[in-house]
Amino acid sequence: MFDDIRKKAISVVSNIFETMFFIFLELQENGEEPKGRPEGMGKHPDGQPCDGAPLNILRSEIGFQGKIQGKIRLCIPYQLARTMAGNFMGLEEGEVSESQTMDMAGELTNMISGNLFSLLDKKAGCRLTVPKTEAISDSEMADTSDKAGITINFDAEGQRIKLHLQFES
């Protein structure tokens, strides 16, 4: 069952990135780090230096309830999210605000969740919660996939995107 979910999730995520954001993803097997990580990833999302670990990742979470229950989490580098928000809205990157970027990350997770669970539970469908998005550090992103479930890593233009599905009994 997990294998089927994983395959469908890969297909859904890839399709959404291409259709809405014109970004082609590469699946990363075995937790390989993407090549050519861009510089400047160590700042707070608003560009200000921060104390402690920089919060340069956006993590959006949606809960799902139905025949299958749990949470779906998407982690995406802030700078990539900002670029995607610009593509999404037809704006230059410099015109995109932090709130628009976070909103876009939540909506992206919403689309992934909705499409995935429509495939998995066609008859009844899952109830989805409203997305919650927060800025986190690289180490918190690594922690996201430590919980039991399915983790899928993608490379988008040299940056890591992580999707994690956590199932509850």
Partner 1 sequence: MAYNILIVDDSQTMRRVIRKSVTLAGFDLGECWEAGDGREALTVLKTHAVDLILTDFNMPGMDGMEMLKELQKDEKNRHVPVVLITAQDNARVVPEGSALGIKGYLQKPFQPEAICKILSQVMEKNRV
Note the residues at the interface with partner 1 (CB under 8 A). 15-16, 19-20, 85, 88-90, 99-100, 103-104, 106-107, 110-111, 113-115, 117-118, 122-126, 128, 130
Which CB sits closer to partner 1, 55 or 84? 84
CA of 46: how far to CAs of 82, 99, 107, 151, 153, in Å?
Answer: 11, 10, 20, 28, 25
Which CB sits closer to partner 1, 126 or 156? 126
Entry field: residues in the chain: 169
| Alpha-carbon gap, residue 101 to 119, rounded angstroms | 27
Least distance to partner 1, CB of residue 75, Å: 19
Least distance to partner 1, CB of residue 31, Å: 28
Least distance to partner 1, CB of residue 85, Å: 7
Which CB sits closer to partner 1, 82 or 164? 82
Which CB sits closer to partner 1, 101 or 145? 101
Q: Is 5 left (phi over 0), alpha (psi -120 to 50) or beta?
A: alpha
Structure tokens belonging to residue 135: 């800025």
Which CB sits closer to partner 1, 26 or 103? 103
Asked if 80 contacts 156 with a C-beta cutoff of 8 angstroms, the reply is: yes
Least distance to partner 1, CB of residue 95, Å: 12
Least distance to partner 1, CB of residue 121, Å: 9
CA of 70: how far to CAs of 46, 99, 117, 150, 168, in Å?
Answer: 31, 26, 12, 11, 5
